[in-house]
């Protein structure tokens, strides 16, 4: 933990005007003083792609139904079957695609199909959603070392429920029937490893070594820690927390001594560096200008050269070691890519991705200062005036940020993805797809698909692995309903430049 010699005070006004332009963020300057004004510059030139480079495009090629009657209720403005922080609610492995959701009888359900157009086959796991909370999602991961599917579900700051398949099921999908007997029983530990009794936000990711990593939160909103566990050679181990809940944060309105880190996700680049974007949420609502907002602040970034064992800030300084007393803290000013105070309803857990050159990208959404310097009603203000921003770090270490000119018109989050040419795609609430070309430095955002035909409720999920391997963007979405009336959950497939 690198100590800031003075109490961190946020005063940035966030007055960027809307335009198809890039804001150049000096990482060193921002790290030294969180209230420095931003300078604008022309969009940077993208790296040469060669004569075969293509601009972004989408062609809807299929739309299949998983379940005509999926569980439906609105909680925290979202659905339990579609939340951005799931990361892998739909994934592809060895030519087969897998999807997870809760059916109308609340059963956790996993389906499989052979790509590109095989029929979906469903398995109901022996667990039913305990209560109506959209945090209690189902997340999946594959351990490449032994070909198992791992499933975590139904937790929000309490117990978790874990199921894993038999070894080799994912390696031999053509010769093994998709049936309940392929899965073990429901556990409340990871094969005996308990982790925490306040568990939320499971996200799986395969490390370059073949180990399967699990990112999660321990604790509660405003007082929790980001942590890692790892499944390696058939055994789970608890690597420990890597963020601190302690330290003093001060705004222009008050101070807070407890918080939690909200991560956008975690992703490896081709060199094995692990990238992590995050924001902080303060426990004390007194740091906000009004109680109707959300106490999230700062757009932050850290990376790990050793699979999450140690962590570095944007300048490369080591700031933390997982599972020790030296954790990423709010006082680590070198992690701040852009400072933003808690008065703009900054969304937590939006989205991130890494392009083919190892450059980390993130999406952020909040209410810019041109609409006022104090959000008093989080839901109404974000729906009316929230805007989405694309941020990335170039190979020289500079941060760039561009406002996406299409407003989300929602409280909810947008997913970020890249095609093989490094064109960026933002899949917005209700399935609208906007994109920007790598050749423009990701400054020419435009709508490619308006989402109108989907009738999707809000946030959607994407299959990151199918996009990487097949240049097909699969979008899992649930159609809008009312009250608690079940509705169809579906997967739409879009062909991207191949």
Q: Which of 60, 65, 145, 27 is nearest to 450 (CA)?
A: 60
CA distance linking residue 253 with residue 290, whole number of Å: 9
Contacts 24+ apart (CB under 8 A), 449-453: 449/58, 449/60, 449/494
pLDDT, one tens digit for every residue, the chain (498 residues)? 544 333 333 333 343 444 334 444 533 333 333 332 333 333 444 444 444 579 999 999 999 999 999 999 999 999 999 998 999 999 999 999 999 999 999 999 999 999 999 999 999 999 999 999 999 999 999 999 999 999 999 999 999 999 999 999 999 999 999 999 999 999 999 999 999 999 999 999 999 999 999 999 999 999 999 999 999 999 999 999 999 999 999 999 999 999 999 999 999 999 999 999 999 999 999 999 999 999 999 999 999 999 999 999 999 999 999 999 999 999 999 999 999 999 999 999 999 999 999 999 999 999 999 999 999 999 999 999 999 999 999 999 999 999 999 999 999 999 999 999 999 999 999 999 999 999 999 999 999 999 999 999 999 999 999 999 999 999 999 999 999 999 999 999 999 999
CATH number of 8-45+56-495: 2.130.10.150
What's residue 272's pLDDT? 98
Distances (CA, A) of 360 to 49, 205, 337, 416: 18, 16, 12, 11
What's residue 53's pLDDT? 78
Q: Which residue do the tokens 């709508």 mark? A: 447
DSSP 8-state code for residue 189: S
**All structural domains of the chain with their residue ranges:** 8-45+56-495
Query: Which tokens sit at 424?
Result: 């960026």
Q: Which residue do the tokens 């990208």 mark? A: 361
Contact 298, 279 (CB under 8 A): yes
Q: Which of 73, 66, 77, 74 is nearest to 100 (CA)?
A: 66
* First and final C-alpha spacing in the chain: 44
What's residue 52's pLDDT? 55
pTM (two decimals): 0.91
Residues 6+ apart with CB under 8 A from 202: 137, 139, 152, 155, 160, 214, 215, 216
Cα angle at 362 between 42 and 346, to 5 degrees? Answer: 100
Q: Phi and psi dihedrals of 24, rounded to 5? A: -90, 120
CA distance linking residue 171 with residue 159, whole number of Å: 30
């Amino acid at each position: 933990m690198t100590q800031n010699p003075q109490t961190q005070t946020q005063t940035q006004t966030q007055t960027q005007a809307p335009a198809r332009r890039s804001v150049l963020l000096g990482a060193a300057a921002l790290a030294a003083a969180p209230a420095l004004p931003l300078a604008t510059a022309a969009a940077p030139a993208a790296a040469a792609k060669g004569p075969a480079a293509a601009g972004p495009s989408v062609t809807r090629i299929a739309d299949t139904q998983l379940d005509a009657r999926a569980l439906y209720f609105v909680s925290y403005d979202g659905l339990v079957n579609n939340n951005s922080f799931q990361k892998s609610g739909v994934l592809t492995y060895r030519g087969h695609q897998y999807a997870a959701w809760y059916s109308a009888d609340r059963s956790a359900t996993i389906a499989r199909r052979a790509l590109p157009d095989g029929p979906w086959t469903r398995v109901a796991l022996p667990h039913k959603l305990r209560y109506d909370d959209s945090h209690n999602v189902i997340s999946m991961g594959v351990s490449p070392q032994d070909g198992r599917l791992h499933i975590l579900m139904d937790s929000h700051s309490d117990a978790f429920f874990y199921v894993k398949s038999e070894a080799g099921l994912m390696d031999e999908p053509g010769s093994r029937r998709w049936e309940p007997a392929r899965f073990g029983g429901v556990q409340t530990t990871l094969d005996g490893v308990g982790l925490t009794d306040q568990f939320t936000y499971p996200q799986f990711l395969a490390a370059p070594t073949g180990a399967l990593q699990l990112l999660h939160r321990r604790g509660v909103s405003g007082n929790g820690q980001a942590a890692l566990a790892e499944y390696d050679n058939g055994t789970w181990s608890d690597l420990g927390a890597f963020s601190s809940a302690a330290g003093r944060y001060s705004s222009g309105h008050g101070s807070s001594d407890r918080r939690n880190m909200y991560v956008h996700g975690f992703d490896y680049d081709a060199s094995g560096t692990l990238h992590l974007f995050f924001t902080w949420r303060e426990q004390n609502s007194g740091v906000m200008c009004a109680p109707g907002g959300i106490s999230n602040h700062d757009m932050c970034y850290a990376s790990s050269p050793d699979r999450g064992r140690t962590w570095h800030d944007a300048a490369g300084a080591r700031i933390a070691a997982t599972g020790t007393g030296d954790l990423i803290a709010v006082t680590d000013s070198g992690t701040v890519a852009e400072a933003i105070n808690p008065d703009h309803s900054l969304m937590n857990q939006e989205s991130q991705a890494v392009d083919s050159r190892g450059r980390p990208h993130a999406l952020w959404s909040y209410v810019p200062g041109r609409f006022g310097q104090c959000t008093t009603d989080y839901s109404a203000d974000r729906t009316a005036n929230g805007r989405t921003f694309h941020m990335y770090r170039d190979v020289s270490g500079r941060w760039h940020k561009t406002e996406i000119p299409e407003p989300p018109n929602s409280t909810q989050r947008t997913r970020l993805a890249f095609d093989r040419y490094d064109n960026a795609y933002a899949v917005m609430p209700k399935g609208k797809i906007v994109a920007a070309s790598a050749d423009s430095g990701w400054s020419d955002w435009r709508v490619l698909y308006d989402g109108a035909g989907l009738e999707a409720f809000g946030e959607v999920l994407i299959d990151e692995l199918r996009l990487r391997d097949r240049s097909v963007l699969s979008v899992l979405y649930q159609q809008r309903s009312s009250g608690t009336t079940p509705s169809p959950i579906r997967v739409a497939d879009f062909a991207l430049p191949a």
